[in-house]
């Protein structure tokens, strides 16, 4: 008489996969099945399924709340950006443009530091703008910054000390992260950098859509307004006349 071998667990599992309707009409079996629980107590299959559904629902709620929070933040950012763009578009002089930009970045966006470099030595600013905006030739931009911007795209993250010293000479010891974008449209106009005292504020993985958008608009307005800058045009006229 041959010994009868019992079914293995794998064989039972394979059979159940092929007969997924087996438990239909056999509710009592589902209630009898006991599964180990991480908390130490055995629970029925139905209880485990209910637990899994609760955990999935909790995960979905957390994801939904996260998406809603991101949407609210984006709404706030959009409104601030809209106001900034309108102020840049409405500026009728270079001074108005610079003033609106610096005020919005510091007051609306909470920037800890702002650096605006304009590639034109002939630009003569007055008042507080003289201490907030630096005018220099494009060739005089520090080599470290030229290397960072060699691809012509905005970047953000933690910068080296030499880069911070060049961008934020008065606050280099406090700025821990920054975002910057080259200003270029029909030629190079300058460089805009926004600094934060928080090292995690401008992460290298952070998107650069906002600062790129502002840079595009600022570049076009600079190209337009600097051509009409009276002192600048007068100096250039004298320079052209002397060279002739």
Interval 53-80 mean pLDDT: 86
- How many domains is the chain built from? 1
Closest listed residue to residue 214, CA positions, set 235, 239, 185 = 185
In a domain, 133, yes or no: yes
Mean pLDDT in residue range 65-69: 86
In a domain, 65, yes or no: no
Residue 196 lies in a domain: yes
Whole-angstrom Cα distance, residue 212 to residue 234? 32
CATH number, domain of 230, equals: 3.30.450.40
* 237 band by pLDDT with thresholds 50, 70 and 90: very low
% pLDDT > 90, the chain: 36
Residue at 67 is within a domain: no
Task: Look at residue 33 and tell me whether its pLDDT is greater than 90.
Answer: no
Q: For 102-156, how does the pLDDT look when each residue is reduced to its tens digit (9 = 90+)?
A: 999 999 999 999 999 999 887 777 777 877 888 898 888 999 998 988 888 999 9
Question: What rounded mean pLDDT belongs to the chain?
Answer: 82
* Whether the Cβ atoms of residue 35 and residue 45 lie closer than 8 Å to each other: yes
Farthest CA pair distance, the chain: 120
Average of per-residue pLDDT across 37-51: 66
Q: Would you state the structure tokens that stand for residue 166, as one six-digit string?
A: 């060049």
Going along 65-175, which residue ranges are E strands? Answer: 113-118, 133-135, 155-157
Domain around 233: 91-243
Q: How confident is the model at residue 94 (pLDDT cuts 50, 70, 90)?
A: confident
With cut-offs at 50, 70 and 90, classify the pLDDT of residue 234.
Answer: very low
- Asked, for residue 126, whether it belongs to a domain, the answer is yes
């Amino acid at each position: 008489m041959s010994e009868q071998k019992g079914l293995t667990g794998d064989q039972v599992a394979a059979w159940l996969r092929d007969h997924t309707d087996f438990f239909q009409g056999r509710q009592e079996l589902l209630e009898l099945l006991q599964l180990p629980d991480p908390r130490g107590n055995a629970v029925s299959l139905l209880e485990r399924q209910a637990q899994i559904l609760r955990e999935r629902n909790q995960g979905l709620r957390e994801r939904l709340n996260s998406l809603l929070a991101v949407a609210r933040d984006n709404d706030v950012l959009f409104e601030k950006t809209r106001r900034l763009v309108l102020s840049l578009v409405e500026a009728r002089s270079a001074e108005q443009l610079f003033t609106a930009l610096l005020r919005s970045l510091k007051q609306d966006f909470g920037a800890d530091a702002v650096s605006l470099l304009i590639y034109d030595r002939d630009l003569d600013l007055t008042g507080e703008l003289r201490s907030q905006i630096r005018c220099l030739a494009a060739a005089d931009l520090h080599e470290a910054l030229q290397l960072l911007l060699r691809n012509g795209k905005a970047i953000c993250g933690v910068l080296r000390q030499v880069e911070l010293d060049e961008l934020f000479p008065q606050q280099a010891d406090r700025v821990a992260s920054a975002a910057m974008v080259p200003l270029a449209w029909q030629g190079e106009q300058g460089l805009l950098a926004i600094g934060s005292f928080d090292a995690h504020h401008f992460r290298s993985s952070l998107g650069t859509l906002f600062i790129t958008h502002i840079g595009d608009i600022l570049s076009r307005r600079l190209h337009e307004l600097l051509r009409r800058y009276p002192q600048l045009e007068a100096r250039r006229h004298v320079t052209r006349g002397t060279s002739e």
